[in-house]
Amino acid sequence: MSLPHQAGVGGEKAGRPDLLAGWARRKGRTLRPLQDAFSPVALRKRRVRADRSSAHLRLRGRLSWTPGGRLQAAGRANRAESRKTDYMSLHIRTYREQDRDAVIALWERCALTRPWNDPSADIDLCVRSREATLMVGYREDDLIASVMVGHDGHRGWIYYLAVEPERQGHGHGREMMAEAELWLASRNVGKVQLMVRIGNADAEAFYGALGYEAQDVTVFGKWLNDPNAP
C-alpha cells in the first residue's frame, strides 16, 4: 500500500513539482524523506506500523478480498457492494497498556487461554519484541477483536485471533487478519503460518476461506518444564 506523495516527497516527480514539497518550500520548512521516516529503525523508535491502517480504504470500498483471501484494489462495480458493509469496519490500532484487562477477558471468552500459558506474560513478551505486535479492534468504545502477529525472520506467525463471540460472523475476523498480513508484508515476510487445534472445524473453515491451506508438515513439541507442576 503506498502513501500519498510517497515517490515525490522532497523532490520532483515526472518533471512537475511535488505538491507537498512545494508547500513545504513556500512555508520555509524541510520535509524528511518518507523512506527515512518509515525505515525499520525509525519504526522501532516510534513503535508505529509501516502500513497504516487499511480501515479507511475498506470503508470507502477501495479494497476487497479475492476468492483466495487476498486484499486487492476494488473496481467500481465492487465499491457499491463494499459500502453496504461499511458499518462492520473496525478501528484497528496497536495495543496499549490500558487494553490489557479487556484483551485478556476477550481471550478468555473466546476460549483461547490455557492453564499453562499466562496471557499477561504473552502480552509482555510481545510488547518487548521488535519482531511482533498485538493489534486490537474497536467498535465504538468496545474492544471486540485482537490479533497477535510476529515473525522469526523467515515466516510470519498468527496467534490470539479473537472476535467477541456475540459479534462473530460479521467480517471482523477477516479485518484483523488483513491487518496482520499487511504488517508482515510491510516487513518483507513472504509467508504466514498458524496452528489450529485438531477438531476445530470452525477455525479450519474460516482460515480456508482466507486462502490458508494445511501444510505437509507434522508439528513436534516437547515440554521443557512440567505445565502441571505447582
pLDDT at 82 > cutoff 70:
no
pLDDT band at 225; cut points 50, 70, 90: confident
Question: Which has more confidence, 118 or 75?
Answer: 118
What is the distance between the alpha carbons of residues 83 and 59, in angstroms, rounded to a whole number?
Answer: 7
pLDDT at 50 over 90: no
Assign 73 to helix, strand or coil.
Answer: strand
Q: In this predicted model, what pLDDT tens digit does every residue of 92-149 receive, in sequence order?
A: 999 999 999 999 999 999 999 999 899 999 999 999 999 999 999 999 899 999 999 9
The whole-model pTM stands at 0.64
Collapse the DSSP code of 63 into the 3-class scheme (helix H, G, I; strand E, B; otherwise coil) and give the result: strand
Which pLDDT value is given to residue 96? 97
pLDDT single digits (tens) 163-221:
999 999 999 999 999 999 999 999 999 999 999 999 999 999 999 999 999 999 999 99
The secondary structure of 177-229 as a DSSP string is HHHHHHHHHTTT---EE----TT-HHHHHHHHHTT----S-------SS-TT-
Of 159, 157, 171, 165, nearest in space to 210 by CA: 171
* Beta carbons within 10 angstroms of residue 17's beta carbon: 13
Residue with cell 485478556: 104
